[in-house]
Amino acid sequence: MDTIGLVVKRNKPEAIILGRELAAWLHARGKTLMPEDDACQELGFPQGWRKSEIMQRADLTIVLGGDGTLLSVARRAGKREVPILGVNMGGLGFLTETTTSELFPTLERVLEGAYEIEHRSLLEAVLVRGGERVDAFQVLNDVVINKGALARIIDLEVWIGDQYVCTYKADGLIVATPTGSTAYSLAAGGPIIDPAVDVVVLTPICPHTLTNRPIVLPDHAYVQVVLRTADEDVILTLDGQEGQSLKSGDTVGIKRSGITVSLIKSPNRTFFDVLRSKLRWGER
């Protein structure tokens, strides 16, 4: 691992301070750094790179921030499976499992090749309007179609392959990966899915029919969602970070991407350790 990508949450001063310390530590070990362009000057570098460029060229990418920062990196992943080490700068994250105190000992082991990878599936979402492909996205957590703040309940016609499921009358619909099952889907009543399970979860948001419950599908399923409501403010949201306005008749096709994200597992905690910590299981 000679070329190291470095993505730092800009609006967090402690992340910038740690990033400078980390850069010096890596330079002392003869590593070439690729800092993200948004924070390169604050880190003391004259030049930076876009996240997509980092994921194309780096041998390892280190993320200093939180789960949101890591999601922004994961969406830029390509066919090169670049290991990502997520370091949480606040409370423990579902994706950024490594704490700041564990960073340098963990990184020592990673550079020596003593680490485990957890592969996380991405979803690809394609927006079609009037029979024409408008845009395509990939997400690690979820694809969400929901109404705007002042819109009424919307109608979402859902197909799995060539099989009609139903037309949800709801505030929206979440299509989530196992990774995203602990995000918006969980808040909307969806199940927690172990990241090792190859499935996709459909979770309606505040459905008008209370028997519309979340559905777990095999991850090879092709989900099509057609917006059947006119004259309402409806948004397609990707990982809660990017958005696109939808029009009546628009179709969003969602399937498993051929790309996976390689997350470096923390040697100090399991998925269930994180669940107990984040969700306070076992506490009274």
Count of helices and strands (H, E) across the chain: 6, 17
Mean pLDDT, the chain, rounded, equals 94
Instruction: Return the CA Rg of the chain.
Output: 20
127 and 111 part of one domain: no
Residue 246 has pLDDT above 90, yes or no: yes
Q: Is 109 part of a structural domain of the chain?
A: yes
Q: Known catalytic residues?
A: 67
Instruction: Give the tens place of pLDDT for each residue, 185-225.
Output: 999 999 999 999 999 999 999 999 999 999 999 999 999 99
How does DSSP assign 134-165, residue by residue? EEEEEESSEEEEEE-TT---EEEEEEETTEEE
134 and 242 part of one domain: yes
246 and 139 part of one domain: yes
Edge-first strand listing for the sheet containing 234-238: 215-218, 199-205, 172-176, 142-147, 234-238, 242-246
93 and 211 part of one domain: no
* DSSP symbol at 95: S
Instruction: Give the tens place of pLDDT for each residue, 164-184.
Output: 999 999 999 999 999 999 999
Q: How many domains is the chain built from?
A: 2
Q: Is 69 part of a structural domain of the chain?
A: yes
Residues 6 or more apart whose Cβ sits within 8 Å of residue 75: 122, 137, 138, 139, 140, 238, 239, 241, 242
Can you read off the two tokens belonging to residue 150?
Answer: 């002042």
127 and 247 part of one domain: yes
169 and 236 part of one domain: yes
Identify the CATH number of the domain in which residue 250 sits: 2.60.200.30
Confidence of residue 150 (pLDDT cuts 50, 70, 90): confident
> Which residues form the domain of 97?
3-116+265-279
176 and 57 part of one domain: no
Can you read off the two tokens belonging to residue 118?
Answer: 């957890």
Percent of the chain with pLDDT over 90: 82
Residue 16 has pLDDT above 80, yes or no: yes
Q: What is the pLDDT of residue 283?
A: 83
Q: Is 20 part of a structural domain of the chain?
A: yes
Average pLDDT over residues 25-48: 93
106 and 135 part of one domain: no
Instruction: Give the tens place of pLDDT for each residue, 264-274.
Output: 998 888 899 98
Write down the pTM of the prediction. 0.92
82 and 35 part of one domain: yes
Q: Is 284 part of a structural domain of the chain?
A: no
60 and 150 part of one domain: no
Q: What is the pLDDT of residue 28?
A: 96
41 and 141 part of one domain: no
Identify the CATH number of the domain in which residue 49 sits: 3.40.50.10330
128 and 242 part of one domain: yes
